[in-house]
Structure 1
């Protein structure tokens, strides 16, 4: 009886160690939970929302990503990818133009409704904000959904792909907002 108990304990210990190693590998290389701080992505994501990011996603235009803050050490930002390498970006009369084509931004609708002027994004061009006419290779142009209150590429410039931690794939808190990001 004692021998069986000892074997069972060793089996449980091995299983526990394997589970810990798998969890570590998954968190380091595949996905990770992140807490949102600040209002720059409101109403899409609010302060203290909890999300899961994928560290293996291929970043595409309009994805929401988490990246190392370029202006504050050991901090992370959550923003929406607006420009990919090779893109020219401009906003005129609150309309986003990428490579000369106008894009609708439905994630801004709620903020536009409550904005006193119904306008969220001041006119600008990538050239004015970064000194470059197109997003360079290995770089991204990002903006927050709360355009009136977002420190983003309009302020700190382009970010490198190397600074991207992952793409937001799932919100798990608050409970009434559980699900895939909009």
Structure 2
């Protein structure tokens, strides 16, 4: 006697399809609430990022030294820009002979190696003190001192002062484009 084959139930297929659609929608919604996409507008962060690179920005992460942050520029109202966090609240910092000092302690900046290698004779970061560029001896509470990686052309805290935590939209989580240069931070 032949066994009868069950016909696929249209009802169960519909339920599976609805579950897949709802799962995809909820996943995209969660990603949309956690990340935003940003297009780099200049070469102020070169060689780390170049104009037209596409980045994923996470808005729910704690900001630490050397993080790459996306924020509203104090110099150009409404313009969003990128820089690297160098100084945290309560710290004093200065540069001497292309070397970063935070609270008189020498800190390395390995991410600048490519930019420094391209220089023939000048310093990547000109000497300065926090007091000399901001008029203050320490980074204020709930604020950051930021610098662009391309120090010779970047508009950063040396020009516009501190970035308040409310101005920060998030930190860079990934470089998405160009595809061959995908990188997670």
Shorter-chain TM range is 0.7 to 0.9
Cα RMSD after superposing both structures: 2.1
Q: State whether structure 2 residue 28 is matched by structure 1 residue 23.
A: yes
Q: State whether structure 2 residue 107 is matched by structure 1 residue 103.
A: yes
Cα distance in 2 for partners of 1:156, 1:138 equals: 16
1:130 pairs, out of 127, 134, 145, with 134
Cα distance in 2 for partners of 1:118, 1:111 equals: 11
Q: Which has the higher helix share?
A: 1
Secondary structure of the 1:107 match is helix
- Trace 1:102-121 onto structure 2 (pairs within 5 A): 102-121=106-125
* Structure of larger gyration radius: 2
TM-score normalised according to structure 1 size: 0.86
Q: State whether structure 2 residue 96 is matched by structure 1 residue 92.
A: yes
Secondary structure of the 1:136 match is coil
TM-score normalised according to structure 2 size: 0.85
Cα distance in 2 for partners of 1:42, 1:144 equals: 8
Secondary structure of the 1:58 match is coil
Cα distance in 2 for partners of 1:118, 1:107 equals: 18
Aligned partners of 1:40 and 1:146 also within 8 Å: yes
Secondary structure of the 2:52 match is coil
Give the deviation of 1:87 after TM superposition.
0.8
Cα distance in 2 for partners of 1:24, 1:74 equals: 26
Q: State whether structure 2 residue 39 is matched by structure 1 residue 50.
A: no
Match of 1:66 in 2: 70
Cα distance in 2 for partners of 1:110, 1:117 equals: 15
Cα distance in 1 for partners of 2:72, 2:25 equals: 26
Instruction: State the number of aligned residues.
Output: 177
For residues 6-58 of structure 1, the C-alpha deviation after alignment (integer angstroms, 9 at most, x for no partner) is: 9x889968975775566345423x11111111001100111111111111110
Give the deviation of 1:73 after TM superposition.
2.7
Cα distance in 2 for partners of 1:70, 1:39 equals: 19
Structure 1 residue ranges without an equivalent (≥5): none
